[in-house]
Amino acid sequence: MSQEDEPEATRRESGQNETSRANRSWWDRNADDYQQEHGAFLGDHRFVWGPEGLDEADAGLLGPAAELRGRDVLEIGAGAAQCARWLAERGARPVALDLSHRQLQHARRIGESADRTAGGVALVEADAAALPFAAGSFDLACSAYGALPFVAEPVRVLREVRRVLRPGGRLVFSVTHPVRWAFPDEPGPEGLTLAASYFDRTPYVEQDDSGDAVYVEHHRTMGDRVRDVVAAGFRLVDLVEPEWPSWNRQEWGGWSPLRGAFIPGTAIFVCVRD
User: Is 144 one of the binding residues for ligand SAM (CB under 6 A)?
Assistant: yes
Q: For the CB of residue 108, give the shortest distance to ligand SAM in the complex, in Å.
A: 14
Q: What is the number of H-type helices and E-type strands within the chain? A: 7, 10
Residue 76 φ/ψ, nearest 5 degrees: -100, 130
- From candidates 118, 123, 128, 229, binder to ligand SAM by CB under 6 A: 128
Q: For the CB of residue 9, give the shortest distance to ligand SAM in the complex, in Å.
A: 18
Q: For the CB of residue 35, give the shortest distance to ligand SAM in the complex, in Å.
A: 8
Binding mask 27-66 for ligand SAM (x = CB under 6 A): x--------------x------------------------
- From candidates 100, 176, 207, 266, binder to ligand SAM by CB under 6 A: 100
Is residue 107 within 8 A of residue 123, CB to CB? The reply is yes
CA dihedral in degrees (143, 146, 152, 158; nearest 10)? -20
Closest by CA to 144, choosing from 267, 39, 273, is 267
User: Is 215 one of the binding residues for ligand SAM (CB under 6 A)?
Assistant: no
Nearer to ligand SAM, 50 or 264 (CB): 50
Sign of CA dihedral 257, 10, 148, 200: positive
Nearer to ligand SAM, 54 or 192 (CB): 54
User: Is 119 one of the binding residues for ligand SAM (CB under 6 A)?
Assistant: no
Q: For the CB of residue 48, give the shortest distance to ligand SAM in the complex, in Å.
A: 7
- From candidates 73, 99, 171, 271, binder to ligand SAM by CB under 6 A: 99
**Which residues are registered as beta bridge partners of 9?**
206
User: Is 23 one of the binding residues for ligand SAM (CB under 6 A)?
Assistant: yes
- Report which residue type is found at 240: V
Measured CA to CA, the distance from residue 2 to residue 263 in angstroms comes to 35
Measured between its terminal Cα atoms, the distance across the chain in Å is 48
- From candidates 146, 154, 178, 242, binder to ligand SAM by CB under 6 A: 146
Measured CA to CA, the distance from residue 250 to residue 244 in angstroms comes to 10
Query: Within a 10 A sphere around the Cβ of 249, how many other Cβ atoms?
Result: 9
Residues touching ligand SAM, count (CB under 6 A): 20
Measured CA to CA, the distance from residue 267 to residue 48 in angstroms comes to 13
- From candidates 51, 77, 119, 203, binder to ligand SAM by CB under 6 A: 77
Measured CA to CA, the distance from residue 271 to residue 238 in angstroms comes to 7
User: Is 151 one of the binding residues for ligand SAM (CB under 6 A)?
Assistant: yes
Residues that bind ligand SAM (CB under 6 A): 20, 23, 27, 42, 77, 79, 83, 98-100, 103, 127-129, 144-147, 150-151
